[in-house]
């Protein structure tokens, strides 16, 4: 399922002294099954953009075409969008509210009017995907869990809607390193095994480098860079000028080059750095 | 500066009648002017112990002393809060006023500081966090990093000897994180403020004089960043991480490269690799 964003513009507080263009003529096409990372400093327009993609906000001009349907049309059926595109907000665990984990995850599917069997199957599947054992957790209160596990329950609630596209707004903020790696691993498997399209908003260049097929960089409501990690992380100066950075190993590579060492510049992860350094040392 | 002596803290859940020992007989001291980092998984007790250091929590066992003031004694609470300030994770939850300089003035006003003195403190503290140009701004127009620096100025204006940062960089973008870390380093280095930083970012922990690692309410490791992070396997087993350069060195060593195991920074890695080449 592809998403096509055409000339999207959104203005906050229009016709007031505080008028601000939050999105300024954005054009993006996201292909089925892609893992896209959306990066940009606070206030760059990332959140405004993702809220348009699942119909929470309407643009001032421009179109968003999902599966051939323009979802910015006034008459559009919102449940059409919500079934296809799931959005996991920042700190989604604050939205947990039910007595048991099972009920909390079942809330969305129930509202789709599914049969009890269907709902139950979806809850089981969603819990399995995020790594929570159904029998062990179904009757427990979501509020007795650790931060990382609460977040898993919240993500399972969106996964149980069985969307084709999953948008996650900083899903690892505030988690410890293990919790972070576990959740990111599960998100990657949603793309690989379940063929979901993933749009990940992140502030961690290291995580983005490890996971994404493609990186979109936002600044002042505009999409200023769009390409593979190789293409985007080459633009160190541009990224730094908009308050971002490149992964640590990429800075290391730049310094090594400066010292006259002939090392490949297309290195963004520790794994790649290791391979390249081993190659250089063995050769010499 | 701060002494935690055999501290325990038990959370009681009245509904279910069960309790949880969040901090389990912990003893350590924070020295004046020190930069101490506390690492640990979610739920390891690090925030709980931090909240003991300015008497937001009172130990259920053991004692906490802030500059010799016992936190158990209610009479001492305002003395303690004057000595130890705290900056939290979410910048939006700790700004109270509608203008930056009024927000910074809020703390000293409540301490009964004279208006002329408040004016001096506000200007001085905003300068220390590099936010003097924004003093007449409305806080909602600032970025996350700028808001956190205003929150730091607000704590500084109360003239504490020590500031505790409880994951104060967790919600920030890379430049915001850098701004706040630079401010923290500066108030520690230039103004000799004692700093206790709780973080999940290992690159930030590299800056510390000393690291304490907590797990299940106990202190399980303590040492310099170099000492702690060279134990890559142990850190990973606990569910923590090491700085990227330390991990790369570890991976290279595992592949037979004779490289130092205690590398922390990019510069150290580059000079090691230049030596090997």
Mean pLDDT, rounded, for B177-188: 91
The span from the CA of B221 to the CA of A98, in Å, is 38
8 A C-beta contact, residue A8 and residue A25: yes
- Name chain A contacts of B267, Cβ cutoff 8 Å: 255
- The CATH code that applies to domain B2-225 is 3.40.50.300
What residue in A sits closest to B264 (Cα-Cα)? A248
Q: Which of B42, B148, B202, B264 is the best substitution to test chain A (most A C-beta atoms within 10 A)?
A: B42
pLDDT band at A15 (very low <50, low <70, confident <90, very high): confident
Q: Smallest Cβ distance to B244: which of A147, A206, A255?
A: A206
Q: What confidence tens digit (pLDDT) does each residue in B2-45 have?
A: 999 999 999 877 666 677 889 999 999 999 999 999 999 988 99
pLDDT at A284 over 60: no
pTM across the whole model: 0.88
Shortest Cα distance, chain B CAs vs residue A77, angstroms: 34
Mean pLDDT, rounded, for B145-170: 91
8 A C-beta contact, residue A45 and residue A22: yes
Q: What confidence tens digit (pLDDT) does each residue in A55-75 have?
A: 899 999 999 999 888 999 888
pLDDT band at B191 (very low <50, low <70, confident <90, very high): confident
* Mean pLDDT over each residue of chain B, to the nearest integer: 91
Give the distance, in angstroms, between the CA of residue B167 and the centroid of all CA atoms in the same chain. Answer: 7
Shortest Cα distance, chain B CAs vs residue A133, angstroms: 20
**Per CATH, is A3-238 categorized as 3.40.50.300?**
yes
Residues B139, B183, A249, A178, Cα dihedral to 10°: -70
- Name chain A contacts of B255, Cβ cutoff 8 Å: 274, 278
Domains of chain B by residue range: 2-225
What Rg value do the Cα atoms of chain B yield, rounded?
20
Q: Smallest Cβ distance to B41: which of A176, A203, A281?
A: A176
pLDDT band at A141 (very low <50, low <70, confident <90, very high): very high
Q: DSSP per residue over B41-89, as a string?
A: -TTSSHHHHHHHTTTSS--SEEEEEETTEETTSGGGHHHHHHHEEEE-S
pLDDT at A221 over 90: yes
Q: Smallest Cβ distance to A256: which of B177, B243, B273?
A: B273
The span from the CA of A19 to the CA of A37, in Å, is 28
Q: Smallest Cβ distance to A248: which of B42, B173, B244?
A: B244
Q: What confidence tens digit (pLDDT) does each residue in A232-269 have?
A: 999 999 999 998 999 999 999 999 999 999 899 889 99
Residue A50's φ and ψ, nearest 5 degrees, are -70, -30
B237 in A contact zone (CB under 8 Å): no
Name the DSSP class of A95.
Answer: G
Domains of chain A by residue range: 3-238, 247-284
In this prediction the ipTM stands at 0.84
């Amino acid at each position: 399922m592809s998403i096509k964003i055409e000339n999207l513009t959104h203005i906050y507080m229009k016709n007031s002294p505080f008028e601000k263009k939050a999105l300024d003529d954005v054009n993006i096409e996201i292909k089925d099954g892609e893992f896209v990372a959306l990066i940009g400093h606070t206030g760059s327009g990332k959140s405004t953009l993702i809220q348009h993609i699942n119909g929470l906000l309407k643009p001032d001009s421009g179109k968003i075409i999902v599966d051939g349907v323009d979802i910015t049309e006034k008459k559009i059926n919102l449940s059409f969008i919500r079934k296809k595109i799931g959005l996991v907000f920042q700190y989604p665990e604050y939205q947990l509210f039910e007595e048991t984990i099972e009920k909390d995850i079942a809330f969305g599917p129930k509202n789709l009017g599914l049969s009890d069997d269907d709902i139950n199957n979806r809850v089981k599947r969603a819990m399995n995907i995020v790594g929570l054992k159904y029998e062990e957790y179904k009757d427990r209160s979501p509020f007795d869990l650790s931060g990382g596990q609460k977040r898993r329950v919240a993500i399972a609630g969106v996964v149980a809607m069985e969307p084709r596209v999953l948008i996650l707004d900083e899903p690892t903020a505030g988690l410890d390193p293990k919790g972070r790696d576990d959740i990111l691993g599960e998100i990657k498997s949603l793309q690989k095994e379940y063929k979901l399209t993933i749009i990940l908003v992140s502030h961690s260049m290291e995580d983005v480098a490890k996971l994404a097929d493609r990186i979109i960089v936002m600044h002042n409501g505009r999409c200023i860079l769009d390409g593979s990690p190789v293409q985007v992380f080459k633009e160190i100066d541009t990224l730094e000028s908009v308050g971002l950075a490149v992964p640590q190993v990429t800075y290391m590579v730049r310094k090594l080059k400066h010292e006259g060492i002939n090392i490949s510049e297309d290195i963004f992860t520790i794994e790649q750095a290791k391979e390249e350094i081993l190659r250089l040392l063995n050769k010499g | 500066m701060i002494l935690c002596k055999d501290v325990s803290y038990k959370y009681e859940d009245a509904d279910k009648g069960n309790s949880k020992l969040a901090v389990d007989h912990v003893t350590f001291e924070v020295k004046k002017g020190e930069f101490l980092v506390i690492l640990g998984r979610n739920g390891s007790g690090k925030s709980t112990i931090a909240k003991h250091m300015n008497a937001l929590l009172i130990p259920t066992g053991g004692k906490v002393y802030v500059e010799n003031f016992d936190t158990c004694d209610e009479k001492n609470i305002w003395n303690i809060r004057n000595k130890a300030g705290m900056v939290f994770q979410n910048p939006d939850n700790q700004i109270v006023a509608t203008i930056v300089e009024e927000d910074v003035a809020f703390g000293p006003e409540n301490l009964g500081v004279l208006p002329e003195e408040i004016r001096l403190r506000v200007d001085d503290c905003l300068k220390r966090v590099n936010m003097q140009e924004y003093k007449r701004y409305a806080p909602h127009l600032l970025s996350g990093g700028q808001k956190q620096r205003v929150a730091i100025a607000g704590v500084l204006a109360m003239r504490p000897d020590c500031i505790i940062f409880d994951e104060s960089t967790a919600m920030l973008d890379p430049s915001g994180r850098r701004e706040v870390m630079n401010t923290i380093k500066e108030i520690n280095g230039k103004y000799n403020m004692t700093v206790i930083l709780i973080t999940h970012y290992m690159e930030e922990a590299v800056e510390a004089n000393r690291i304490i690692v907590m797990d299940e309410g106990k202190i399980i490791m303590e040492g310099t960043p170099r000492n702690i992070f060279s134990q890559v396997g142990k850190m990973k087993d606990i569910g923590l991480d090491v700085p990227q350069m330390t991990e790369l060195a570890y991976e290279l060593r595992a592949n037979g490269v004779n490289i130092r195991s205690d590398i922390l920074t990019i510069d150290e890695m580059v000079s090691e690799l230049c030596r090997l080449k």
